[in-house]
Amino acid sequence: MAGILNIQLNPVLGDKEKNLEKVNNYIERYCENDLDLVVLPEFFSTGVHHESFINAPEDTNGGVVVARLSETAKKFNTNIVCGSVIERDGDKLYNTSFVVDREGKIVGKYRKIHLFRFFGGNEDSYITAGNLPPLVVELDFARVGVSVCFDIKYPLLYKNLIKMGAEIIVSPSAWIKLTSLSAKQKEDNLICWKSLNITRAAENLVYFVTSNLTGSPSKALYSIGNSMIVNPMGVVESVQGEDEGAAFTNIDLKLVRELKAAVPVAFID
């Protein structure tokens, strides 16, 4: 068994210090469990706050945010998927997810490939699409593949991750919708969100872990929350509602390994 702590955050816009403190407090609250992996949302340290993205990006090592999470990983003896930060490399900005191990060492980073530029989204107007290969990190308990938010719409990325041996796939997310949607449209969007998570787990025979933002970054937008852990049979083992919080779940990696041996989906086109 392996213990995963999935943190769903309603970040204070632009306040990295406050949001890092929130993360530390949630991990401390659950640290008596055997924490093998902590997963944080996309943009968790700033929220969807364009001024921070453009004016206060991190460096190519993740800057102050990843440095602080490296210390947290060592303190609580856990691996952390550090949500995502805006990373500056030369004159370009990337939406980047870093992974640190129990010793606080950066063991991989993934720059989001599929930017949200539809239905009014403009992520590509200031962020450059990822130029790194897909990422699977060999942690001390499992092989973990990394995706970010809108990547979930692109199944071929996940095919590549399972070909690389992923047993768990994480998806730090900031799944944002318009507050002007009707109640029926909001309900339909939530069904779509949950269905995507279930599908990515079941079709790839992995544990799929999505850590999502919650709350409203503006009057026009809201984050849907509903962070999830879905097992390789497509069974939802954990789903959070719309409130900020954290959920600890023990997962059975033996199930993944037995299923992958019986059904070699990584090698079936």
* CATH code, domain carrying 55: 3.60.110.10
- CB-CB neighbours of 195 under 10 Å: 10
Residue 92 belongs to domain spanning: 2-262
In this predicted model, what pLDDT tens digit does every residue of 136-178 receive, in sequence order? 999 999 999 999 999 999 999 999 999 999 999 999 999 988 8
For residue 29, the model assigns a pLDDT of 97
In angstroms, the CA 7 to CA 85 distance is: 16
Residue 216's contacts (CB-CB under 8 Å, 6 or more residues apart) are 179, 222, 223
* Mean pLDDT value of segment 56-83: 97
Any domain includes 268: no
Any domain includes 248: yes
Tell me how many domains the chain contains: 1
- Mapped onto helix, strand or coil, the DSSP state of residue 196 is helix
In this predicted model, what pLDDT tens digit does every residue of 224-254 receive, in sequence order? 999 999 999 999 999 999 999 999 999 999 9
Q: Which amino acid is at 93?
A: L
Any domain includes 196: yes
Place of tokens 């191990």: 101
- Mapped onto helix, strand or coil, the DSSP state of residue 157 is helix
Contact 98, 85 (CB under 8 A): yes
Instruction: Look at strands 79-81 and 85-89 and give their pairing.
Output: unpaired
* Mean pLDDT value of segment 116-128: 73
For residue 97, the model assigns a pLDDT of 98
For residue 267, the model assigns a pLDDT of 74
Establish how many alpha carbons lie within 13 A of residue 228's alpha carbon, considering only the half-sphere containing its beta carbon.
24
Please, is 1 exposed, middle or buried when counting C-beta atoms within 10 Å of its C-beta (0-12, 13-18, 19+)? exposed
Whether 182 has a pLDDT exceeding 70, the answer reads yes
Establish how many alpha carbons lie within 13 A of residue 253's alpha carbon, considering only the half-sphere containing its beta carbon.
15
Any domain includes 135: yes
- For the chain, what is the radius of gyration of the CA atoms? 17
Contact 48, 213 (CB under 8 A): yes
**Token pair of 88, please?**
């500056």
For residue 53, the model assigns a pLDDT of 84
pTM value is 0.96
Cα distances (Å, whole numbers) of residue 191 to 121, 195, 268: 21, 6, 28
Residue 265: φ, ψ to 5°: -65, -25
Residue 71: φ, ψ to 5°: -65, -40
Any domain includes 117: yes
Q: If you average pLDDT over every residue of the chain, what do you get?
A: 94
Instruction: Look at strands 79-81 and 92-100 and give their pairing.
Output: antiparallel
Residue 225's contacts (CB-CB under 8 Å, 6 or more residues apart) are 8, 212, 213, 214, 240, 241, 242, 243
Candidate from 1-10, 30-39, 177-186, 206-215 with smallest mean pLDDT: 177-186
Cα distances (Å, whole numbers) of residue 256 to 202, 210, 232: 10, 17, 6
Any domain includes 163: yes
Report residue 218's pLDDT band, with 50, 70 and 90 as the boundaries: confident
**Token pair of 99, please?**
């992974």
pLDDT-above-90 percentage for the chain: 84
Any domain includes 267: no
Residue 257's contacts (CB-CB under 8 Å, 6 or more residues apart) are 167
For residue 51, the model assigns a pLDDT of 85
* Mean pLDDT value of segment 99-126: 86
For residue 120, the model assigns a pLDDT of 57
For residue 178, the model assigns a pLDDT of 85
Which of 202, 206, 198 has the alpha carbon at shortest distance from 255? 206
